Amino acid sequence: EEQAAKLKAEKIRVALEKIKEAQVKKLVIRVHMSDDSSKTMMVDERQTVRQVLDNLMDKSHCGYSLDWSLVETISELQMERIFEDHENLVENLLNWTRDSQNKLMFVERIEKYALFKNPQNYLLGKKETSEMADRNKEVLLEECFCGSSVTVPEIEGVLWLKEDGKKSWKKRYFLLRASGIYYVPKGKAKVSRDLVCFLQLDHVNVYYGQDYRNKYKAPTDYCLVLKHPQIQKKSQYIKYLCCDDVRTLHQWINGIRIAKYGKQLYMNYQEALKRTESAYDWTSLSSSSIKSGSSSSSLPESQSNHSNQSDSGVSDTQPGGHVRSQSIVSSMFSEAWKRGTQLEESSKVTRRL
């Protein structure tokens, strides 16, 4: 009877798991690659952008890099943004309309984590690019992201604002604060009591505008857009800002990202860095195994998936890859076994001492 009860409980558990699995939202998506090809894959609502990126890097054999990004392109509105690694991809894609011409791109974008590679250009509020020692960069990042609260860079300056429903732009003095974006009304001073809230950032995403000189007669090519994720067509609730130069554009976009996501942004970077480094270590072990002659494969080293990358960052597929990969894996495990044995022997000697 006890055995029968256990069996029944197991069947109920399996049935509940199947019901739960069936209720998970799934999407079949097309991802456009940097070489103009595309891949079709299934994603579900439990996956973050980081997990989907990892899958794409594995499938594409393109090598791990911090710069690989999933980019949402909204062609009707001529704007795009890089999805943050912690975001839920399915949740974002469900905002697209049924007849949407939007695209999901898998491309390398250095601006994704430029903030953490050279934080002095984004966190100090300076106009000019400056050099900084690596240790000082770490200290700056720790001060900004690792305290009890995140320090949002207090960016401010004159930006061009597109007037609602018109192709004319007017200058306003804007300020970024943790609570949102503010502007100084005409004839008022830059003091807190005179500032007017332009936009709170909780429910909007920041996009790069594309070719707005032609579309909206923008003063420059350096435009950013703020809109709610569910707005997919032209709307009075979309806000368009234009900067005088590309540096100012990136400072504002990164400042907005910090104000919106806070510490999560830094955690995303650290996780991406960790995955990239571990992938590099694994590849290095593979390469050293081949060079040491421990591989039984007769294929030349140049055919390795990791070493034969095109300019787009996507590896060319080589014949005989299955045999080669088996050989590489066996070599890696052989190498790891030797290292494990050596460590074990050295620990025994240490205990004796």
Task: Give 234-237's long-range contacts (Cβ < 8 A, gap of 24+).
Answer: 234/76, 234/77, 236/164, 236/165
Instruction: Report if residue 89 sits inside a domain.
Output: yes
Residues in Cβ contact with 247 at an 8 Å cutoff, skipping those fewer than 6 apart: 121, 127, 129
Can you tell me the distance from the alpha carbon of 260 to that of 148, in angstroms, rounded to the nearest whole number? 16
Reported confidence tier of residue 25, pLDDT bands at 50, 70, 90: confident
What is each CA distance from 130 to 121, 159, 230, 235, in whole angstroms?
7, 23, 39, 39
Decide if 159 is inside a domain.
Answer: yes
Looking at the fold, whether 124 and 251 belong to one and the same domain comes out as: yes
Residue 278 included in any domain: no
Q: Is position 152 within any domain?
A: yes
Same domain, residue pair 102 and 166: no
Alpha helices by DSSP H, listed for the chain, are 2-22, 49-60, 89-93, 114-117, 120-123, 134-145, 212-216, 246-261, 263-291, 321-352
pLDDT tens per residue across span 202-239 = 999 999 999 999 999 999 999 999 999 999 999 999 99
Looking up residue 68, the CATH number of its domain turns out to be 3.10.20.90
Residue 98 belongs to what H/E stretch?
none
pLDDT value, residue 11: 77
Q: Does the residue 245 lie in any domain? A: yes
Strand order in the sheet with 79-82: 38-44, 26-33, 103-108, 68-74, 79-82, 205-209, 222-227, 239-243, 156-162, 169-177, 180-184, 196-199
Q: Give the mean pLDDT of the chain.
A: 81
Position 115 pLDDT exceeds 80:
yes
End residue of a domain, out of 80, 113, 146: 113
For residue 344, being part of any structural domain is answered with: no
**Same domain flag for 9 and 27:** yes
Residue-range definition of the domain harbouring residue 57? 1-113
> Residue 343: its pLDDT value, please?
53
Of 2-16, 108-122, 170-184, where does mean pLDDT reach its minimum? 2-16
* pLDDT one-digit tens code per residue, 59-73: 888 888 899 999 999
Question: Could you give the number of structural domains in the chain?
Answer: 2
Q: Give the span between the Cα atoms of 227 and 83, in whole angstroms.
A: 14
105, pLDDT greater than 50: yes
Q: What is the pTM of this model?
A: 0.74
Instruction: Give domain status of residue 196, yes or no.
Output: yes
Over range 16-37, report the average pLDDT: 80
pLDDT single digits (tens) 121-151: 999 877 667 788 999 999 999 999 998 889 9
In this structure, the answer to whether residues 87 and 20 fall within a common structural domain is: yes
pLDDT score for 281? 61
For the chain, report the end-to-end CA distance as a whole number of angstroms: 57
Residue 134 in domain: yes
Q: In terms of domains, do 253 and 132 share one?
A: yes
Q: Three-state DSSP class for 183? A: strand
Dihedral Cα 31, 111, 153, 125, nearest 10 deg: -160
In this predicted structure, the answer to whether residue 340 has a pLDDT above a threshold of 60 is: no
- What H or E segment, with its residue span, contains residue 241? strand 239-243
